[in-house]
Amino acid sequence: MASLREIRRKIKSVKSTEQITKAMKMVAAARMRRAQQAILSARPFASRLEEVCRGLASRVDKNFAADAAHFPESLKEYFQSNSNGAPLIVLVAADKGLCGAFNSNLIRASLGWMQRQNQKFYAIAVGRKSRDFFKRLKGFDCEVLHEMTGVFPKISFTHAEILGQEILKAYFEKKLSSVIMVYNEFKSVAQQKLVEFPILPIAPLSETVPGSLVDYEFEPKEEELLEALLPRYFKAQLYRILLESQAAELSARMNAMDAASKNAKELRASLNLSLNRQRQAMITKEIAELVGGAEALAS
């Protein structure tokens, strides 16, 4: 049985842990509110940009979905994949732990995707946990092309531009077949959704949003404007994904720290109960010894 000193030491340690987890929960909650606001602020731009790109693609070739041969050569690379090329996986994980199953779910999904590949593939790591995972990876023919760490929870559009440049450079130079993003999407404070999103080649944009085709006159031509907007559209999608992952990570950390605080509180209560019981047992024993001594003297 543990001594009173050991139990008091454990209570003090658990109390300190509880204070730390409560503080981490409060910090994550404050940052998550800012992350949610960033997502809401970025959505109108991304939505409008997608609408403009869809309208332009429809103007350039209304029959693109049926026959891509009529599409301009300068834009085909974004929409057509190289069937003989290797795929690229972009794993967006956290920079830190203590966020529940956030990172482990991503790693498990990435391993499942890798096991389905029968050829060499490339990878880009976003987040320290993603980088560490690829460093420890064995048994796969994988080449890591780029690492981006230390960016959470202060994501900006600059990070999306840097990541977009690396992805597009690899996609065009190495003639990749596809690029898949593996990340956690923010649904609510209590829920994150694991997503495997094929970001390249871009899905056909010729299905126009109703009401978006206004009879404008373009200068420069529609093809040149679409060619200039597609990289921006691609990077806006990346920015949205990074913001989603950031908010999902913060909500997962907040929930994990909340659960840890509750567990610490329950453990502290259990230790206090054990401490009180042991003290009571010692007091009872001492009283019994005193009574026994008194009876012995009386007799």
pLDDT per position as a tens digit, 185-194:
988 888 888 9
Is 261:22 a contact under the CB 8 Å cutoff?
yes
Query: What's the confidence (pLDDT) of residue 61?
Result: 60
Q: What is the pLDDT of residues 273-295, one digit of tens each?
A: 988 888 888 888 888 878 887 77
Query: What's the confidence (pLDDT) of residue 229?
Result: 85
pTM score, whole prediction:
0.83
Nearest Cα neighbor of 182 from 256, 252, 102 is 102
| pLDDT higher than threshold 70 for residue 204 | no
**Angle formed at CA 175 by CA 148 and CA 149, multiple of 5 degrees:** 5
pLDDT band at 22 (very low <50, low <70, confident <90, very high): very high
pLDDT greater at residue 228 or residue 176: 176
pLDDT greater at residue 235 or residue 227: 235
Query: What's the confidence (pLDDT) of residue 208?
Result: 47
Task: Name all domains of the chain by residue range, CATH numbers in brackets.
Answer: 4-21+259-287 (no CATH), 22-207+220-256 (3.40.1380.10)
| pLDDT higher than threshold 70 for residue 69 | no
pLDDT band at 195 (very low <50, low <70, confident <90, very high): very high
Q: What is the pLDDT of residues 108-156, one digit of tens each?
A: 999 999 999 888 999 999 999 999 999 999 989 999 999 999 998 889 9
Q: How many CB atoms lie within 10 A of CB 84?
A: 8
pLDDT greater at residue 78 or residue 90: 90
Query: What's the confidence (pLDDT) of residue 293?
Result: 79
Q: What is the pLDDT of residues 232-273, one digit of tens each?
A: 888 998 999 999 999 999 999 999 999 999 999 999 999 999
Q: What is the pLDDT of residues 24-59, one digit of tens each?
A: 999 999 998 888 888 888 888 888 887 788 777 777
Average confidence (pLDDT) over 5-13: 90
| pLDDT higher than threshold 70 for residue 72 | no
Query: What's the confidence (pLDDT) of residue 126?
Result: 96
| pLDDT higher than threshold 70 for residue 230 | yes
